[in-house]
Amino acid sequence: MGRTRGKNLLLIISAILFLSRELAFPPVLADLDEDKRALLDFLLGTRHARALNWRQDTPVCEAWTGVTCSDDRSRVVSLRLPGRGLRGPIPPNTLTRLFSIQVLSLRFNFLSGPLPSDFSVWENLTVLDLSNNGFSGSIPDSISKLTHIAALNLANNSLSGEIPDLNLPNLKWISLANNKLNGTMPKSLQRFPSWAFLGNNLALEASDSDHRIKIEKLGEPALLGIALGACAVGFAVTSLLVITCCSSNGVDYETSLDSKGGSSGKKPIKQNPTRDDKIMSFAGFSYSLRFKHLLKLPAEVLGKGTFGHTYKAVLKDGNEVAIKWVAELSVAAAKFELLMETVGTLRHENIAPLRAYYCSRDEKMLVYDYFSEGSVSSILHGIHNLISRSFSPFLLSGLAFIQSVRSTIAGKIAGRQSRLSWERRVKIAVGAARGLAYIHAHNGKRLVHGNLKASNIFLNTQGFGCVSDIGLTTLMNPMMPASLRAAGYRAPEMLDAQNACQESDVYSFGVLLLELLTGKSPTHAAKVHLVRWVQSVVREEWSAEVFDLELLRCPNIEDEMIGMLKIGLACVATTPEERPKMAEVLEMVETVYQAKSKDQPSVDQKSPFHFPQA
């Protein structure tokens, strides 16, 4: 009997010890296989425009795009899938099973529905970026359980309701801008600048007085609303750069913010610890930079293009450069570097020189000369990108920021008529033609630009067009959304950006000529197809209706404009075989320019190209 009791007591003690161990070490510590299944379940339950190489038979830590594991490869600690075309709500019970995750970035997708309800499962999370999606509903109270969070970005969604009291001791940066939030700002967030909450209906209560500042949805005219919408996106992304710049380790912002003082004790995960972070530079660029140094340079947003945002940065000696952060491009490093090494050797007065570049698995940057006048698109169409050199959103807040936008718009509109005369437009066309012809003659006549448009052309010191962003579109994923491709400039046969050829470049140049002649943007919101519109007007013999009214005020240029119009129409022929070579286009454009310089009649009568007939 005593032995039986002893055995029973031993069993009870063993059971208690087992239960104690389970309580002390709950199943939150999932193994890598469970993390893998969680990611596959997330992928299965989410629509995505850009395919991911996640498969059951491949190792998650070595091959899976956007996934980073811990040093011992036992846990998934980072998931970064920016701009992957993810759609729909986050499937329940998928990402919340990644119990060891430290960095979660799903920015610039099309995710919708409510935010995950239980953030407390991500107890090690230091960076959460769900910005630029379509999330709706309220911000869950459980987000306050993220005690190690250092950066929180929920900007540019459709979140509503009041902001919960986020008493997060390690939070160093936040943006909730451009949502539908209302109510009073919690005291715990009043230490952050007001721009982090613009575009909402919030009452900001100043900490040193009872004064309340109401920041509401803007009721300005449509133009101002559009401008401010662009600003919201721009300074949200600029803020990401600022977070990056704050890093003392030289890694990207998502991995550089460690939960200092936290219980996990884990170090930040470097994006590519085996790769040298040195910036690869070309002849004529005498700066020895590393990635971490580049991120610490003073910078401001110039605008957003096909592949990401461009910033103006000031080097230590005061020289200014333009840095293009290539975010919307997923390509093997070797292929990217091969193109950069080719483009970096191009030296021509009408080509914006690529001075340096940086390439890792997750980050790609290009360094160009900075052109102070901005792009031809911004000059021609009057309203310059408002998040530009005119002012920085970080220096302005509330009504002062709105007033600066209003003043900038008024100044741009008032100065438009004097900004781009016929002579300047001709010099832009000549410079762009020279640059593009040089590109086509380079590398065994196999190199193409692939994305020629007014926003990729700048003015050199003599006022001639200068071509930039060479070849990047040829690396574009064919699954990338069509909105990221310059549809108004794209040749009809170019269904896939990777199929760009020199003939399609000629078509794009023809569209550029029509844009300079008409003053109309090929990508205008009115959905007017510029090429078809010009062709229809010319067929009706109403050629004068084509030209920008500002040009019609200039005397004695009709022949030159007609000559340039015929060149443009020849370039936009429907079939590639009908289009002239770029060298021939250059010769014709130069002839018009030389005739203008000598104040002689243009060569229109000698042109072998004719208006299409109905």
Which secondary structure element, helix H or strand E, spans residue 357, and what is its range?
strand 354-359
Residue 263 identity = S
Computed from CA positions of residues 488, 490, 495, 497, in that sequence, does the dihedral angle turn out positive or negative?
negative
Question: What is the β-pairing status of strands 201-205 and 212-215?
Answer: antiparallel
Sheet arrangement for strand 173-175: 67-69, 76-80, 103-105, 127-129, 151-153, 173-175
Q: For the chain, how are helix, strand and coil distributed in percent, rounded to 5? A: 40, 15, 45
CB-based contact 193:204 (threshold 8 Å): no
Cα gap 31→594, rounded to integer Å: 72
Say how many residues make up the chain. Answer: 614
Q: How far apart are CA 500 and CA 441, in angstroms?
A: 16
For residues 331 and 348, give the distance between their C-alpha atoms in angstroms, rounded to a whole number. Answer: 27
C-alpha pair distances (Å), 282 with each of 318, 353, 453, 546:
20, 9, 25, 43
Would you list which residues are annotated within the binding site? Answer: 335
Distance CA 163, CA 385 (A): 31
Whose CA is closest to 233, among 115, 380, 381, 385? 385
For 508, the 3-state DSSP assignment is helix
> Strand 180-184 relative to strand 173-175: parallel, antiparallel, unpaired?
unpaired
- The span from the CA of 117 to the CA of 98, in Å, is 15
* Alpha carbon distance 424, 571 (integer Å): 21
CB atoms closer than 10 angstroms to residue 297: 17
| Cα–Cα distance for residue pair 395/120, rounded to 1 Å | 35
Residue 39's φ and ψ, nearest 5 degrees, are -65, -40
**Contacts of 157-162 spanning 24+ positions with Cβ under 8 A:** 157/130, 157/131, 157/132, 157/133, 158/134, 159/115, 159/135, 160/136, 161/137, 162/138
Residues making up the annotated binding site for ATP are 335
Burial class (CB in 10 A: 0-12, 13-18, 19+), 23: exposed
